[in-house]
Amino acid sequence: MVTELCDTPADSAECPYYPSNKRRQHVPQPDNLFGSAANDADAQETREWVDALSAVISAEGRDRAHFLLEQLLEQARQEGIDMPFSATTGYVNTIEPQEEERCPGNLEMEERLRAYMRWNAMAMVVKANRLHPEDGGDLGGHISSFASLATMFGAGFNHFWHAESEDHGGDCLYIRGHSAPGVYARAFLEGRISEEQLLNFRREVDGKGLSSYPHPKLMPEFWQFPTVSMGLGPLMAIYRRVS
């Protein structure tokens, strides 16, 4: 990894990081950095260009480096070079940690609430499937779906999504159906549904339980849109319209 840079200006021909200095000292890089360029005809030159870019970023900032890359790409297009394209990118965060926005909420409190929601969602599904063992206990339900999305849902509900009000038209939420237990668990903590309803998960025939999946006909005061199999129609219509 980089340990130190020279004091010579980066745009000077004396700078060891200037691209035209063919035999300069180079900044050590990870051994596998050019693993995909095993057939590189001039690995030294490639390393020099990469080191030069690193020097620009260090001396003049990311905006300058971005500008230079755009200029190089434009020149390549003008020269008729076949530009490489990939629809995938490396699994690298696009924002440096120091540039991330700080969460406006109480992270410790939010995590504690998510733990309650995960537990209640799991307990609701497990309890429902143990209630009538003579029937095989096959009411079903999904536990891991919400557990894997709890943090994302928490950020959305707490800091982004709006309910309809005088000042806001309200956001449209197309909730993943298999995550419904977690949304019910959150609503229970908010006092919007009762413990009796939780105990009647997937048994809403008498009006005391909770529907298996989101559906405004079954729970008009709770869900906006039908999802899972019943919601494929609206979703496919939107997909066809924008595709």
pLDDT band at 37 (very low <50, low <70, confident <90, very high): low
H-assigned helices in the chain: 43-60, 62-78, 107-130, 144-155, 180-189, 195-198, 232-242
Q: What structural domains and CATH numbers belong to the chain?
A: 1-100 (no CATH), 107-242 (3.40.50.970)
The C-alpha angle with vertex 223 and arms to 220 and 228, in degrees rounded to 5, equals 120
| Range 45-74 average pLDDT | 93
- Which tens digits make up the pLDDT trace of 103-145? 888 999 999 999 999 999 998 888 887 766 565 556 777 888 8
Residues 6+ apart with CB under 8 A from 29: 47, 50, 51
SS3 31: coil
The residue among 28 and 101 whose pLDDT is bigger is 101
pLDDT band at 13 (very low <50, low <70, confident <90, very high): very low
Does residue 176 contact residue 223 with C-beta atoms inside 8 Å?
A: no
Burial status of residue 203 (CB atoms within 10 A of its CB: 0-12, 13-18, 19 or more): middle
Residues 6+ apart with CB under 8 A from 187: 193, 222
pLDDT band at 217 (very low <50, low <70, confident <90, very high): confident
- Which tens digits make up the pLDDT trace of 54-64? 999 999 998 99
> What pTM was estimated for this model as a whole?
0.61
Q: In the predicted model, what is the mean pLDDT of the chain?
A: 79
Q: Within the chain, how many helices (H) and strands (E) appear?
A: 7, 0
Report d(CA 41, CA 113) in Å as an integer.
57
Question: What pLDDT was estimated at residue 159?
Answer: 92
